[in-house]
């Protein structure tokens, strides 16, 4: 979660969350990390597909087999997300077209694995907050999303799940489901904001440790 100065809001604009949040990439500047953590982070990020890779625009396929291999895949996703200092990761970001995501919105939470997620309901209330993305290094943009939702799916063993989420957790889930549909945060912002994001990404690519 990142504390950032919030912009003024007109009364007709959607609510902003109390703290702007950074989805996927935790708000740790690389220079603030110790050498071991930075090395793990860089190693994990090498597995994450970056902007321009066609798989990020592909729609993931429903999972039909819930076996040991799938559970190992979910475990690996959780480990890479943790090492990359992320709060969420979709299978497509690793080049796997499985409709599966993992997330851990807060440090004290357990890792959640969500397979074949379907949003059953989302609130009319909208919130605007800043999001980052492991696949878009250097990009931090304000995105409007539903403030709360109910999602149904299965865990890696095939057991049914129903999750009611709000705030950061709801935002992370929506962000990762977007990935499974081939949608990026760049698709949810204005053309001008997209130009700024592209400039930031080019700058980050010139700085090896930026994210």
Residue whose token pair is 């379907």: 118
> What confidence score (pLDDT) does residue 25 get?
55
Q: Is residue 82 part of a domain?
A: yes
Residue 122: strand pairing partners: 149
pLDDT greater than 90 at residue 2: no
Question: For residues 120 and 149, what is the distance between their CA atoms, to the nearest angstrom?
Answer: 8
Contact criterion met (CB below 8 Å) for 197 and 136 = yes
pLDDT tens string 78-133: 999 999 999 999 999 999 999 999 999 999 999 999 999 999 999 999 999 999 99
Catalytic residue, from 24, 26, 176, 192: name it.
176
Is residue 98 situated within a structural domain? Answer: yes
Name which residue leads in pLDDT, 13 or 190: 190
- Within-domain flag for 10: no
Neighbours of 49 (CB within 10 A): 17
Beta strands across the sheet bearing 112-122: 88-90, 100-103, 112-122, 148-154, 160-166
> Does the annotation count 124 as an active-site position?
no
pLDDT of 52 above 70: yes
Q: How far is it between the farthest Cα atoms of the chain? A: 51
Structure confidence at residue 9 (pLDDT): 38
Interatomic CA distance for residues 143 and 16, integer angstroms: 10
User: What does pLDDT average to over the chain?
Assistant: 88
Whichever domain contains 84, its CATH number is 3.90.45.10
Range of the domain at 178: 15-206
**Would 6 be classed as within a structural domain?**
no
Q: Which residue's entry shows tokens 């095939």?
A: 158
pLDDT given for residue 126 in this prediction = 98
Tell whether 3 is covered by a domain: no
How many domains does the chain fold into? 1
């Amino acid at each position: 979660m990142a504390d950032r100065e919030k912009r003024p809001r007109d009364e007709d604009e959607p609510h902003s969350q109390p703290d702007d949040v950074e989805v996927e990439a935790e708000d740790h500047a690389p220079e603030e990390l110790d050498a071991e953590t930075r090395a793990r982070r860089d190693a994990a990020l090498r597995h994450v597909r970056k902007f321009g890779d066609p798989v990020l625009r592909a729609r993931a396929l429903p999972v039909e087999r819930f076996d040991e291999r799938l559970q190992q895949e979910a475990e690996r996703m959780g480990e890479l997300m943790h090492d990359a200092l992320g709060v969420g990761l979709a299978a497509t970001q690793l080049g796997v077209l499985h409709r599966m995501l993992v997330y851990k919105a807060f440090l004290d939470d357990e890792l959640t694995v969500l397979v074949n997620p379907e949003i059953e309901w989302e609130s009319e209330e909208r919130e605007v907050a800043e999001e980052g993305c492991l696949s878009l290094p250097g990009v931090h943009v304000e995105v409007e999303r539903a403030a709360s939702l109910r999602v149904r799916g299965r865990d890696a063993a095939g057991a049914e799940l129903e999750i009611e989420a709000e705030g950061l957790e709801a935002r992370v889930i929506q962000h990762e489901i977007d990935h499974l549909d081939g949608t990026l945060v760049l698709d949810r912002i204005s053309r001008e904001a997209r130009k700024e994001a592209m400039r930031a990404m080019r700058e980050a690519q010139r700085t090896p440790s930026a994210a």
